[in-house]
Amino acid sequence: MEKSGTIKAYAAILDHEKLDYQLTVIAEITVSKGKLLEMEEAISKLPNTCAVYDVTGLTDAVVIAKFHSRGELSKFTKSLLAMPFVDRTNTHVVLTTVKEDFRLL
């Protein structure tokens, strides 16, 4: 599976709360002028970003990110809104994580 590229890497599974990440957010992003890929690439490089997805529906992309504080979240949100092709964000703060595991097997 390594040779075929099915296994991309090996990684430790971290307890984010023990690392003092107090906030997990899910941010919906609406993009203008057909610049979705450029915007997603820029967001993927921001600190705290865990995942970036193209999605169907009323928004264009979904971002999952983790933060130590509200101040970090505020800075992140303002940096999203400052991007030239981001029209709007809708940020959801996770209250309780019931399951967070991206392993399929």
Interval 77-93 mean pLDDT: 95
What's the pLDDT score for residue 45?
A: 96
The torsion angle over the Cα atoms of residues 21, 26, 28 and 34, rounded to 10 degrees, is: 60
Is CATH 3.30.70.920 what the domain over 23-93 is classified as, yes or no?
yes
Average pLDDT of the residues in 34-60: 95
Q: What is the pLDDT of residues 88-100, one digit of tens each?
A: 999 999 999 999 9
Say which residues have a Cβ less than 8 Å from residue 37's Cβ, sequence separation at least 6.
none
Kindly report whether the global pTM for this prediction surpasses the value 0.85.
Answer: yes
What are the boundaries of each domain within the chain? 23-93
From CA 46, how far away is CA 80, in angstroms rounded?
A: 9
Residue 104: pLDDT band by 50, 70, 90 thresholds?
confident
